[in-house]
A and B are shown apart, each in its own frame.
Chain A
Amino acid sequence: MKQEFTISLFSENHIGILNQITIILTRRQINIESITASESAVKGVHLLTLVVKTTPDMVRKIARQMEKLIEVLKVFVHTSEEIIYQEIALYKVTTKGLMSGNVIDHIVRTHHARILEVSPEYIVIEKTGHKAEITDLLAQLEPHGLLQFVRSGRVAITKQVKELNAYLRELDEAHRFKPEQVGVLN
């Protein structure tokens, strides 16, 4: 059964890492529902958050293949229940729509969105939430002269706690006690 998974991948900041990751998905013809990439809380470590729809078996296989990449530090796979996640969306609507009574103002309030900017021609509304909520607001705003709409990929935080910092510390510790590598073949 296909379901939605959020893959959180921590990697070194190496050129081409995103390409290596997407290759793993494209060879199996798995579509990326959303993707976000930026520096994590640890300096020099990048965090990629990918959302894919696939089977639990497949997501486990691709996660292991991702973790096998040299520059990848750690890969976590979560179902939507195991994480707290948000997306952000920006909506540009005509100011005329706003002037025609307080409909838009009402929509903004009930959706817990906020107005970022107002100009004579347009207003920009920001909404943070789950995909369905963002889509819902989009549907509401559309009749009032929507000029532009853009949504981000997902950002997620796990409920289970093992901080990456702790993991990196463990790695460095383990290395200190690691015996010298010797020749591998023969």
Chain B
Amino acid sequence: MKEEKQADQEVLQVNGHEHLTGADALLRSLIEEGVDTIFGYPGGAIMPVYDKLLDYTDRLNHILTRHEQGAAHAAQAYAMVTGKPGICFTTSGPGATNLVTGIANAYLDSVPVIFITAQVVSGLIGTDAFQETDILGVSMPVTKWNCQVKKAQDIPDTIAKAFYIASTGRPGPVLIDITKDAQVEKLDFKYKKCNYLRSYNPHIPLHTRAIESASIMINHAEKPLILAGHGVLISGAVKELREFAEKAGIPVAATLLGLSCFPSGHRLYTGFLGMHGNYGPNLLTNEADLIIAIGMRFDDRVTGNLKKYAKKARIIHIEIDEAEINKNVQVDLEIHNDAREVLQYLIPLVKQKSYESWIREFRICDKTEYEKVIRQEIKPESGAVRMGEVVREVSELTKGDAIIITDVGQNQMSAARYYRFTEPYSLVTSGGMGTMGFGLPASVGAKIGKPEKQVVAFIGDGGFQMTIQELGTILHYKIPVKLIILNNGFLGMVRQWQDMFFKKRYASTELVNPDFVKIAEGFSIPSRKVSRREDLKNSLVEMLAAEGPYLLDIEVEKEGNVLPMVEPGASVSEVTLNYKS
């Protein structure tokens, strides 16, 4: 009997194929794709896979988060800092539906994450079995691709396809739903990576004629402006963007997800675009005569009122996703290609130029913004601590070399505005979806992805409580992340809108908060509360020097507003610099 069992567990080799269970095949397929980290949460239907995980602990590190949403965000952050697809396991039913916010978040921000959900036994599908959900139907609008596997023999090819789809073209999340019986069934395992699908062609031949036309437009422009988005980072075009901008002498502005693709201190860098972006790039978008949009999608938070957007400019749009071209803004020249390939072809075609008086216009705007907004935010002399000064202090102490994680809202906008990014891939934030609660689990994923980097998260007191349970993950795996709660006792950004657009009627935005220091204590995370400006720097130094995780609860100005602001419905050139409530 015992011998029989042993024989059963032995891997049989027939014609170079191994005889494995579906669960084994899944894990082996992931290893073949270079996976070493998985974020997840077990449950009934996925138990065969979790059982097999114990046999692969030497090659696969599984991080048990405290909620499936946390696993999804952590996997996304891991992907954003490492460039490798994130992997996330959950069980069927609620395990799968708890992922939905995380999947949608990865989808809107084009991040490759492979979600593996378990499904009830195939014979029970459609019967409303215990923990059965039609997760394919639920996730369809928010995944790049999804698929159900009911037979073990289909697992390797489906995983191969999932990696190919998730990581090529415009990346995005994919979801594979594997029935419980497919996990235990046996198959002959042989893995072959996927590099071609007839109906999906991510590698578009270079539109050289269009790029040549672009070079002519660029060489004749008088006030050109580059808008750099996430696509620059995704396509690995950081070096090319810099070379292009420097040769052609063109100023560069970045979208929220494009931040860190161009060094903050560079003479051609003009700042951050959008609703709470820098004054210069917003205002002067409407003065430019040529806009070169690279790997960005003209989100409404970037463009403001479309009817008054960039009317003096001709627009060149370099974008890998054809559906994004002419979606929001009608462009004059579309280049439907990979950003890096386009720039490589374009650089030799553009003339060496400089636009001193044009760049001076940006510097004048910088000065105005500094006088009216930035100075009182980063160097206030009295009053409560400001979010901006916390961020800038961290920026200086880490010399711009940390990976910055944000939640969503004022904390996010302050981090984006006041951290001086120098290293590419150093910002992890929830852009398109604006998911509160993203920050804490994202910090876990980022630190696991880049353990050698200092990972600092700026999180509001509201968002912190949305995924606060992930402190358990930090405790469990001793993840040395530095957490900063920018605590104003409000849902700050909503309160700001109530202040500015709803006659200061603060409906459900003031929070009664717990003692975060005591909470951290419960999770064995060293922590400190900071209320006075004098204690700020020392506390930050202490936090950054701490070996393990550390939490700082910083009491900031209760009713501070993030400015400047392109108010909803306003044009990018109608920027509010002063606001007195």
Contact = CB atoms under 8 A, between A and B. Distances in A.
Contacts of A179: 203
A27 B196 contact: no
Interface in B323-380: 323, 325-327
Contact of A171 (B112, B148, B167, B198): B198
Nearest to B202: A181
Contacts of A67: 322-323
A72 B201 CA distance: 11
Interface stretch (A12-20, A103-111, A130-138): A12-20
Given A61-B323, A184-B168, A186-B236, A71 B199 contact: yes
A29 B322 CA distance: 22
Given A64-B323, A186-B425, A70 B168 contact: no
Per DSSP, are chain A's interface residues mostly helix, strand or loop, or mixed?
Answer: mixed
Interface string B128-143: 0000000011001100
B83 A180 contact: no
A11 interface: yes
Interface in A11-44: 11-12, 15-16, 19-20, 23, 27
13 contacts: A16-B137, A27-B141, A60-B326, A68-B322, A70-B200, A174-B205, A181-B164, A181-B203, A184-B167, A184-B234, A185-B233, A186-B82, A186-B236
B83 A64 contact: no
Nearest to A26: B141
B84 interface: yes
Interface of B: 79, 82-84, 112, 136-137, 140-141, 144-146, 148, 164-165, 167-168, 171, 195-203, 205, 233-236, 321-323, 325-327, 425
Contacts of A162: none
A12 B198 contact: yes
Interface in A68-113: 68, 70-73
A184 B171 contact: yes
Contact of B322 (A64, A172, A175, A178): A64
Nearest to B204: A174
A19 B139 CA distance: 12
Given A185-B112, A185-B171, A12 B199 contact: yes
Query: Max chain A CB contacts within 10 Å: which of B171, B197, B198, B236?
Result: B198
Contacts of B83: 183-186
A132 B422 CA distance: 65
B145 A70 contact: yes
Nearest to B320: A184
A32 B140 CA distance: 20
A183 B167 contact: yes
A70 B197 contact: yes
Nearest to B195: A181
Contacts of B200: 70-71
A70 B175 CA distance: 13
Contacts of A171: 198, 201
Query: Max chain A CB contacts within 10 Å: which of B112, B197, B425?
Result: B197
A175 B200 CA distance: 11
Contacts of B112: 184-185
Contacts of B148: 15
Q: Which 4 A-B pairs have the closest CB atoms?
A: A185-B83, A186-B83, A64-B323, A70-B145
B432 to A, nearest CB: 15
Nearest to A20: B140
Given A184-B167, A186-B425, 10 more contacts: A11-B199, A20-B140, A64-B322, A70-B145, A72-B199, A73-B198, A181-B168, A184-B234, A184-B235, A184-B236
B199 A73 contact: yes
A25 to B, nearest CB: 12
Nearest to B80: A185
A181 B195 CA distance: 7
Contacts of A172: 198
A168 interface: yes
Contacts of A19: 137, 140
A68 B199 CA distance: 9
A65 interface: yes
Given A184-B234, A186-B425, A16 B136 contact: yes
Contacts of A16: 136-137, 140, 146
Contacts of A180: 195
A181 B197 CA distance: 13
B323 A68 contact: yes
Contacts of B171: 184-185
Contacts of A61: 323, 326-327
A175 B165 CA distance: 16
A11 B233 CA distance: 32
